[in-house]
């Protein structure tokens, strides 16, 4: 394969870092590449509606369209932002070795608020909010959106005690401050800390090349986490955490579903021999649904529909 591989990326600093990372890996293998920053636009024009093509992810949709229009050859994503169902014609070509999967709390003026009733933190994630309120029920949680850089800026400007970030994102762009606490008790988003390369299913020669970047262990772990997510949520976003790790012959899985206010939860933890992981994500999701998860999901769907 001797064509120049066009790498599509969103134009945030984190997305650019991740695309360059993939670029370096491909060039190290002797392939020619070019970076194509793709601006998020509202006016995507295609011959079919987005939903008909199965394009749903708010972070990934611009790159999905660029792939389908063949303006780029591959798209680099934070895997946790990729919807569990890929658009038709687009496939997972590789999953890179996972970095830190933890969430971290960046604090502004010390950590005393953690032991007080008057804590106030910020996050835009349903999962982080629910898990935080489950642990600190008296605290206040404000909404915080935008890319990593603008969230860090908003933390400075607002009267919050702290804000939650994915450790991997801050580490990649060298933005991790001294005053950051690793939230080891928080169960991360499925596939947090992993990057995924998407490409066109029909581009077989390219898929073969990209497979060289695949990290087998990260691939199986994130597959289980995302199977768990897909089976549990049924197309609706909910506060769901999942983490699979490999320890020699065993795979360790931890999954949790919270109600939106964090008051209810259904969780599961399993250690299975690697040779027995077939279907594990869906099995764990079904167990959660039977152990109180079904009622939690129904309540969430009702609340989010309003």
CB 131 within 8 A of CB 261: no
114 backbone φψ class: left, alpha, beta (φ>0; ψ -120 to 50): alpha
The two beta strands, 103-107 and 162-166, are antiparallel
DSSP string covering 159-214? S-SEEEEEHHHHHHTT---SSEEE-TTSPPPTTTT-EEEEEETT-HHHHHHHGGG-
Q: Which of 55, 63, 166, 173 binds ligand PBG (CB under 6 A)?
A: 166
Of 73, 81, 203, 247, the active-site residue reads 81
Task: State yes or no: residue 168 binds ligand PBG (CB under 6 A).
Answer: yes
Closer to ligand PBG by Cβ: residue 168 or 198:
168
Stretch of 30-38, 166-174, 198-206, 230-238 lying at the interface with ligand PBG (CB under 6 A): 166-174
Task: State yes or no: residue 86 binds ligand PBG (CB under 6 A).
Answer: no
The SS3 call for residue 34 is strand
Task: State yes or no: residue 169 binds ligand PBG (CB under 6 A).
Answer: yes
- Residues sharing a CB contact under 8 Å with residue 112, sequence separation 6 or more, in sequence order: none
Closer to ligand PBG by Cβ: residue 50 or 126:
126
Strand order from edge to edge, sheet including 265-273: 240-247, 250-258, 265-273
Residue 81 designated active-site: yes
Closer to ligand PBG by Cβ: residue 170 or 200:
170
| Smallest separation (angstroms) from ligand PBG to the CB of 243 | 12
Q: Which of 61, 80, 139, 226 binds ligand PBG (CB under 6 A)?
A: 80
Helix (H) or strand (E) holding 141: strand 140-142
Stretch of 68-76, 164-172, 203-211, 276-284 lying at the interface with ligand PBG (CB under 6 A): 164-172
Count interface residues toward ligand PBG (CB under 6 A).
10
- Which residues of this chain interact with ligand PBG, rule CB under 6 A? 78, 80-81, 148, 165-166, 168-169, 192-193
């Amino acid at each position: 394969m001797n064509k120049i591989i066009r790498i599509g990326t969103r134009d945030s600093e984190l997305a650019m870092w991740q695309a360059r990372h993939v670029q370096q890996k491909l060039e190290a293998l002797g392939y020619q590449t070019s970076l194509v920053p793709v601006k998020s636009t509202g006016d995507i024009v295609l011959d079919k509606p987005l939903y008909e093509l199965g394009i749903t992810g708010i972070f990934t949709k611009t790159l999905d369209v660029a792939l389908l229009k063949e303006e780029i050859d591959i798209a680099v994503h934070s895997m946790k932002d990729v919807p569990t169902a890929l658009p038709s014609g687009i496939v997972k070509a590789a999953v890179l070795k996972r970095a830190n999967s933890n969430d971290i709390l960046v604090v502004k003026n010390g950590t005393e608020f953690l032991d007080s009733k008057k804590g106030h933190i910020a996050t835009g994630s349903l999962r982080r909010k629910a898990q935080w309120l489950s642990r600190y029920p008296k605290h206040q949680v404000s909404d915080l959106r935008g890319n990593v850089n603008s969230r860090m800026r908003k933390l400075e400007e607002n009267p919050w005690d702290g804000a939650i970030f994915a450790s991997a994102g801050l580490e990649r762009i060298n933005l991790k401050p001294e005053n950051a606490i690793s939230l080891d008790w928080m169960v991360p988003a499925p596939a947090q800390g992993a990057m995924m390369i998407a490409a066109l299913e029909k581009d077989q020669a390219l898929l073969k090349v990209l497979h060289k970047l695949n990290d087998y262990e990260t691939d199986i772990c994130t597959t289980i986490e995302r199977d768990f997510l897909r089976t549990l949520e049924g197309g609706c976003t909910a506060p769901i955490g999942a983490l699979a790790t490999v320890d020699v012959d065993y795979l360790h899985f931890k999954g949790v579903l919270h109600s939106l206010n964090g008051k209810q939860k259904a969780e599961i933890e399993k250690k299975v021999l690697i040779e027995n992981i077939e279907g594990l994500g869906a099995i764990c999701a079904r167990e959660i649904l039977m152990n109180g998860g079904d009622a939690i999901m129904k309540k969430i769907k009702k609340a989010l529909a309003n």
